[in-house]
Amino acid sequence: MALNGALGLGFVISAKNLASDVFADVRKDMAALSADPEKLKQAFSEAGGEMKRTGMALMGIGAAGFAGLGLAVNESAKFGQAVAEAGTLVDHAKFSTADMGRIAKEMGSTFGGDLATQTAALYQGISSGADTAEKATGLLTAANRLAIAGHTDQATAVTGLTKVMNNYGIELKDASDVSDAFFVAIKGGQTKAGELGASVGEVAAAAKGAGIPMDQLVAILGTGATLLKDTAGATVGLKGVLMGIAKPTADATAEAVKLGIAFGPDMIRKYGGFQGMLEKITSSANFNAKSMNNLFGSQEAANAMTALATNHGAAYIAMMEQMKHRTGATADA
């Protein structure tokens, strides 16, 4: 006997369902209505009332199973609400809530994680510019891989990736390349995805302005985190370096003259990148223990530059070599 056949809501709960292991199919049918949680609640309530009237409330499923269905309905309602909230951020002609729900479910099925976590990551991605199903799928795929490989949550991974991408003007379709750069730094350095993402976001704009490409920035922070034993310390140090280059002090100008280098906003470009700048400074015959302090002012900046210049920048050079072969690194992990 069908308990809600008259409802016309796309699924049927019958005595056979309740009394056998095919009840799992009923759960799937109910989950399919997650985009319309109010409709699902109504169906569940009416079906429960009919069960009581027919004396079948405890047949097969039992009270505990019936309570479990209630939890499923609540979770379905939360998921529907989260998708609806994400839908307020986009033009539905370009990205429908149906596609949003589908993507969140596909991510959860492929990479794991509950729907609430995946939907939070989706919301963060849409907020950062993933305004179509294609863009969101690419970004969330990269973020889920990074989250697993880098031991963080999906929303944090999305935030880290999009901060550097937005600052460098990298298209969302290339999110996997940024994720691969992150993972090289995580694997080769003493940092985590969440820490690295936050750090990159703090300095990306200044680094790009100074002429440091994305992969070099990630490598600098990854190497600095290892050498200084602290991602935050490496970030503060790099900020000081970039500030010193942008606005040279009188002491920095005098030290630059002594070293025979062109110290200023364009020096990283002039010397072919961050490693070239390091080599130009440290290879001078007049370079000494005080040179970094004189050039960059703050102790944090001097410490970072001294650490990165150790053994002629061997650690940084090694990480940049790994960056050349980064494609697919996150997916492999």
Percent of the chain with pLDDT over 90: 49
Query: With b meaning 16 or more CB within 10 Å and e meaning fewer, what string describes 242-271?
Result: bebbeebeeebeebbeebebebeeebbebb
pLDDT tens profile 35-86 = 455 554 555 455 545 444 444 444 444 444 444 444 444 555 555 555 556 6
Q: What is the pLDDT of residue 79?
A: 58
Confidence label for 12 from pLDDT (cuts 50, 70 and 90):
very low
Question: If pLDDT is split at 50, 70 and 90, which confidence band does 112 have?
Answer: confident
Once rounded to an integer, what is the mean pLDDT over residues 205-218? Answer: 95
Residue 317 has pLDDT above 90, yes or no: yes
Quick one: which of 231, 236, 330, 323 has its CA closest to 275?
323
Q: How far is CA 319 from CA 49, 189, 315, in A?
A: 65, 9, 6
Instruction: Give SS3 for 266.
Output: coil
Torsion of CA 189, 192, 197, 200, to 10 degrees: -30
What are the distances in angstroms from CA 234 to CA 13, 161, 316, 333? 59, 19, 13, 25
SS3 14: strand
- Torsional sign, CA 283, 284, 286, 290: negative
- What's the mean pLDDT in 228-250? 94
Percent above pLDDT 70 for the chain:
72
- The residue-averaged pLDDT of 139-154 equals 91
What does pTM read for this prediction? 0.72
> Which residue's structure tokens are 């290892």?
226
- Mean pLDDT score of the chain, rounded to an integer? 80
DSSP at 11 = -
- Cβ burial, residue 131 (10 Å; 0-12/13-18/19+): middle
**Do 245 and 268 contact (CB within 8 A), yes or no?**
yes
